[in-house]
């Protein structure tokens, strides 16, 4: 594994599907959904012993900055940076690239979302190490792909090509050229992807060297490349962040770079992965009674089945004669909806008073 590896943690997402537990100032990555730690804390814990804390940059936004700093009270204050405006992942990666380049212009860097559930830390670090070696040897952009367990229409997909064998791992078939990225498919197309066997879920985790990603920014996103050249000078970082970031194009890194680049590789994850994108996903981690009711705490249920219940304030929840509902109780809000409407919770946010959003 390369000696100099940095990590950029993207921690500025909104997680609107988890309202009312999630809010603008307390998004999904700051919630304790499936463990005693928040998803952001779990993300940091997975890097322990693999990336030293001074080489980790956490990017959040101005609405969430205070909550992140309070949560991570012992983390290096200067390694938490708040984006002054929402500009999607291309600008965030550009900012992080400049930060890393100012410290080591030849470093390997990993880009990791802050809101995933990954069970096996050792397997995660082994996959990252392999991806880092692939990035160094191929001078390419490397993404980590998840082998699909079912035909999910809610994820983007990566179409794999021929395997690539590294010098140190000549018998390892887990690295492939990427033929193309595929948008979220309809259910029939997702079934086709699953049958064909050479598709992986796109989990939004990347590894590359600073020179490689700079090459691609210069080729496909010169405006962002110019921004990187400004923020990589330590004395200009704060000024460029304040004055230039909000002027950057609002586009994802996938669209800006990954789907255009011609040297892209995928490493298959050797760990279990879940992005828990809705309350239905979280329910998989709750205890269930014989009627399929899933709850984070003890509930009372009579003639009720397949409900999902989450409460955080000690309120007693009792269900009578109801089925397939989501019930989420916080000190100041209550959500009740059909479990099959879980994906539409984000559509409800705009109708809720601003102070509760």
- The 10s digit of each residue's pLDDT in 203-219 is 999 999 999 999 999 99
Task: Report d(CA 311, CA 298) in Å as an integer.
Answer: 10
Identify the weakest region by mean pLDDT among 14-18, 157-161, 170-174, 340-344. Answer: 14-18
pLDDT for res 3: 64
Q: What's the pTM?
A: 0.94
The per-residue pLDDT for range 65-107, each reduced to its tens digit, is 999 999 999 999 999 999 999 999 999 999 999 999 999 999 9
The SS3 of residue 276 is: coil
Q: What is the mean pLDDT of residues 273-283?
A: 93
pLDDT in tens, 302-355: 999 999 999 988 899 999 999 999 999 999 999 999 999 998 998 999 899 999
- Structural contact between residues 115 and 22, judged by C-beta atoms closer than 8 angstroms: no
Domain ranges (residues) in the chain: 5-142+201-262, 279-356
Residue 283, pLDDT > 90, answer: yes
8 A C-beta contact, residue 60 and residue 25: no
Structural contact between residues 236 and 181, judged by C-beta atoms closer than 8 angstroms:
no
Three-state DSSP at 244 gives helix
Give the CATH number of domain 5-142+201-262.
3.90.550.10
Evaluate whether 316 touches 310 at the Cβ level (below 8 Å). no
Six token digits for residue 282: 């979280």
| Furthest-apart CA atoms within the chain: distance in Å | 65
Residue with tokens 């160094």: 136
Task: Provide the pLDDT for residue 313.
Answer: 82
- Whether 315 and 305 have beta carbons less than 8 Å apart is answered as no
Measured CA to CA in angstroms, residue 239 lies from 64, 113, 178, 232 at distances of 21, 26, 37, 11
């Amino acid at each position: 594994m390369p000696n100099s590896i940095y990590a950029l943690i993207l921690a500025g997402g909104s997680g609107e599907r988890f309202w009312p537990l999630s809010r603008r100032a307390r998004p999904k990555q700051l919630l304790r959904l499936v463990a005693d730690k928040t998803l952001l804390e779990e993300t940091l814990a997975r890097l322990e012993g693999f990336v030293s804390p001074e080489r980790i940059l956490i990017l959040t936004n101005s609405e969430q900055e205070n909550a992140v700093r309070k949560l991570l009270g012992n983390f290096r204050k200067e390694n938490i940076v708040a984006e002054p405006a929402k500009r999607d992942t291309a600008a965030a990666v550009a900012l992080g690239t400049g930060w890393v380049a100012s410290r080591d212009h030849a470093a390997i860097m990993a880009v990791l979302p802050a809101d995933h559930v990954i069970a096996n830390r050792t397997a995660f670090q082994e996959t990252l190490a392999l991806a880092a070696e692939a990035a160094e040897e191929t001078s390419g952009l490397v993404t980590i792909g998840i082998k699909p367990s079912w035909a999910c229409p809610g994820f983007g997909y990566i179409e794999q090509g021929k395997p690539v064998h590294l010098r140190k791992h000549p018998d390892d078939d887990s690295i492939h050229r990427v033929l193309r990225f595929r948008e979220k498919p309809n259910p029939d197309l997702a079934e086709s992807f699953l049958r064909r066997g050479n598709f992986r879920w796109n989990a939004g985790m990347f590894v590359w060297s600073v020179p490689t990603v700079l090459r691609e920014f210069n080729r496909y996103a010169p405006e962002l490349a110019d921004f990187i050249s400004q923020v990589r000078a330590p004395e200009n970082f704060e000024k460029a962040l304040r004055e230039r970031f909000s002027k950057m194009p609002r586009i994802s890194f996938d669209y800006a770079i990954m789907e255009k680049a011609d040297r892209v590789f995928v490493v298959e994850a050797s760990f279990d992965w879940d992005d828990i994108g809705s309350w239905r996903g979280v329910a998989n981690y709750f205890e269930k009674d014989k009627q399929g009711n899933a709850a984070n705490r003890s509930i009372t249920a009579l003639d009720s089945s397949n409900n999902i219940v989450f409460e955080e304030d000690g309120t007693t929840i009792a269900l009578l004669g109801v089925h397939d509902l989501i019930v989420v109780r916080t000190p100041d809000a209550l959500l009740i909806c059909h479990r099959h409407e879980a994906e539409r919770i984000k559509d409800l946010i705009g109708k809720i008073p601003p102070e509760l959003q």
